[in-house]
Amino acid sequence: MLGLMQDWPLLIHRIIDHAAKQHGQRQVISRSIEGPMHSISYGEIRQRSMKVAQRLSRDGIRLGDRVATLAWNTWRHLECWYGIAGLGAIYHTVNPRLFEEQIIYIVNHAEDRILFLDLTFVPMIEKIAARIPTVERFIVLTDSAHLPATSLKNAVAYEDWLAECDGDFRWANFDENTAAGLCYTSGTTGNPKGVVYSHRSNVLHAMMLIPKEAFGLSPGDVVMPVVPLFHANSWSLAFSGPMSGSTMVMPGAKLDGASVYDILETQKVSVTAAVPTVWLGLLAYLEQTGKPLSHLKRVFIGGSACPRAMTEKFERNYGVNVIHAWGMTEMSPVGSVCFVKPELGELRDDALYDLKMKQGYAPFMVEMKIANDKGDELPWDGKTFGRLKVKGPAVAKSYFRGEGGQILDEDGWFDTGDVATIDAYGYMQITDRAKDVIKSGGEWISSIDLENLALGHPDVAEAAVIGVAHPKWDERPLLIIVPKPNANPDKDSLLAFMQGKIAKWWMPDDVVFVPDIPHTATGKIQKMELRERFKEYRFPAA
């Protein structure tokens, strides 16, 4: 017997409908690309996204067509998402930090028909326009007063394009499993692969993250996704923000410490989220200026491991609760959040920070396990590490156009490519990406742990650890350090600092100092490139 409940498909536009009905006056406040701050209500956002849908359909966009966005976090980008998806077309977020060749590859692979782009990216797209022939029209996210002269095909200012419609439109109706969004993973090896989100997966994922044990969003919150919409669905905040009725703050193109500080303070942001590099910038700014954080309550940090020193600074010096989270593009993207369960509520100081170093436990709708290379499940003892595998309604089952073949094992688990431990309380901790772990004498050394420790040294701005070939041990760790401005740390002081805090055989064999460390388009340390840079390097004693 089937249940006798209504058929109410989980479609993304229902989120903005709800926000407009229940929280119609609540604002979305953006730092515009043109410069000034801009404010608009959820009610108006909904009207304008309906116009986007109507106008796109007049341009011939249909169910299943791909429409690309190359844009920072602003209200216009948000409207585009809801408008594109509300028509049954697919928003394809293009990460502007990718190399030109990768952008060309993914736009062609997706066969995007329209490209919405911010003013910032007009020169870059003009350069490659001839090589992305599927794009019929370029819509610049600005008004006619700011539209530069451009060679882009059928270019138009977004506001003019939108004004050609009256918004008298009904959202399309379709199955909740219809594709809604497309995001390519940067793919450290091979070509980028497209992850295709459905309406259902995006709605469920947003619902998963609203509760207190995750983002904890409610109408009283002011939430600012610093994490870009083009980085794995902005960790769902473009959906969970409106769904929860929170005020939203969109930081636009300026993500340096001073600009992030300014918008956090002036807009009274209570909750925010981004990768560690953004917070390194903010904390450096706070240290230089001695300014306080007056309104911020919670900061979500993920994308790469949140260094312990970062958590301690936020919590001890600024009274901000740091919540570590982990995920990946293939998981929509959140897979775990480090909320403190009541049985651990007594933990204080170092013991609490030890817990907060972990990436957290899986909320409802994510299943996880660790397994050895044979596929046997490993115990949750906080020590045994293995390959981290996941399942859930917002986890990919294959890539766009079948790229990469079969990606689930025979029991339906997706291998994340990460190596992790899980403790008796369910808290998972990433040891490393499987390809970055250092294999020394048959044992594994976690590059993340070493980097974390080195970052606690007062003279260190950034740290990376890679395995370098060693005649006896196979591989040994090399510590690569970017010193803080005006600081001059040396090898001995660094090693002395690390001594006693890790097993002896984990100690790096050497320390080198460099002016910068390369990052990927999503802010991760580019280990492959570092290994390439140091391929001629030999340890002094080896």
Positions marked active-site: 185, 330, 439, 444
* Angle between helical axes of 276-289 and 257-266 (0-180°, round to 10): 80
Are 105 and 192 a contacting pair, CB within 8 Å? yes
Q: Nearer to ligand ADP by C-beta: 241 or 303?
A: 303
Residue 425, SS3 per DSSP = coil
Q: Counting contacts by CB under 6 A, is residue 431 touching ligand ADP?
A: no
In whole angstroms, give the CA distance from residue 68 to residue 92. 4
Residue 453, SS3 per DSSP = helix
| Widest pairwise Cα distance in the chain | 75
Q: Using CB under 6 A, which of the segments 44-52, 174-182, 210-218, 322-330 binds ligand ADP?
A: 322-330
In whole angstroms, give the CA distance from residue 499 to residue 493. 10
CB of 429 to ligand ADP, least distance (A): 9
Are 174 and 191 a contacting pair, CB within 8 Å? no
Q: Counting contacts by CB under 6 A, is residue 274 touching ligand ADP?
A: no
| CA-closest candidate to residue 231, choices 275, 192, 198 | 275
Q: Nearer to ligand ADP by C-beta: 355 or 430?
A: 430
Compute the C-alpha angle 21/26/30, nearest 5°: 130
| Phi/psi at 447 (5° precision) | -65, -35
Interacting residue with ligand ADP among 230, 365, 522, 527 (CB under 6 A): 522
CB of 432 to ligand ADP, least distance (A): 8
Q: Counting contacts by CB under 6 A, is residue 326 touching ligand ADP?
A: yes
| CA-closest candidate to residue 33, choices 112, 139, 154, 146 | 146
Q: Counting contacts by CB under 6 A, is residue 102 touching ligand ADP?
A: no
CB of 235 to ligand ADP, least distance (A): 10
CB of 417 to ligand ADP, least distance (A): 6
| CA-closest candidate to residue 70, choices 180, 183, 226 | 183
Q: Using CB under 6 A, which of the segments 50-58, 292-300, 411-419, 450-458 binds ligand ADP?
A: 411-419
Q: Show the tokens assigned to 384.
A: 């045994």
Q: Counting contacts by CB under 6 A, is residue 433 touching ligand ADP?
A: yes
Q: Nearer to ligand ADP by C-beta: 155 or 437?
A: 437
Interacting residue with ligand ADP among 23, 193, 200, 324 (CB under 6 A): 324
Are 248 and 224 a contacting pair, CB within 8 Å? yes
Interacting residue with ligand ADP among 207, 305, 368, 463 (CB under 6 A): 305
Are 387 and 373 a contacting pair, CB within 8 Å? yes
Interacting residue with ligand ADP among 49, 185, 201, 240 (CB under 6 A): 185
| CA-closest candidate to residue 338, choices 356, 321, 353, 313 | 356
Interacting residue with ligand ADP among 54, 93, 102, 186 (CB under 6 A): 186
Residues in contact with ligand ADP, shown as a per-residue x/- string from 113 to 152 under the rule CB under 6 A: ----------------------------------------
Q: Counting contacts by CB under 6 A, is residue 232 touching ligand ADP?
A: yes
Which H or E run contains 411? none
Q: Counting contacts by CB under 6 A, is residue 304 touching ligand ADP?
A: yes
Bridge partners of 22, per DSSP, are: none
Bridge partners of 440, per DSSP, are: 443, 474
Interacting residue with ligand ADP among 267, 359, 431, 446 (CB under 6 A): 359
CB of 352 to ligand ADP, least distance (A): 17
Q: Using CB under 6 A, which of the segments 239-247, 327-335, 370-378, 456-464 binds ligand ADP?
A: 327-335
Q: Counting contacts by CB under 6 A, is residue 281 touching ligand ADP?
A: no
Q: Counting contacts by CB under 6 A, is residue 382 touching ligand ADP?
A: no
Q: Counting contacts by CB under 6 A, is residue 430 touching ligand ADP?
A: yes
Computed from CA positions of residues 142, 143, 149, 150, in that sequence, does the dihedral angle turn out positive or negative?
positive
- Residue entry with tokens 């969109």: 250
Strand blocks (E) in 77-131? 90-93, 114-117
Q: Is 112 exposed, middle or buried (0-12, 13-18, 19+ CB in 10 A)?
A: buried
In whole angstroms, give the CA distance from residue 225 to residue 233. 10
CB of 426 to ligand ADP, least distance (A): 16
Q: Counting contacts by CB under 6 A, is residue 447 touching ligand ADP?
A: no
Interacting residue with ligand ADP among 520, 525, 527, 530 (CB under 6 A): 520
The residues of the shown chain that bind ligand ADP, judged by CB under 6 A, are 185-186, 232, 302-305, 324, 326-329, 333, 359, 416-418, 430, 433, 520, 522, 524
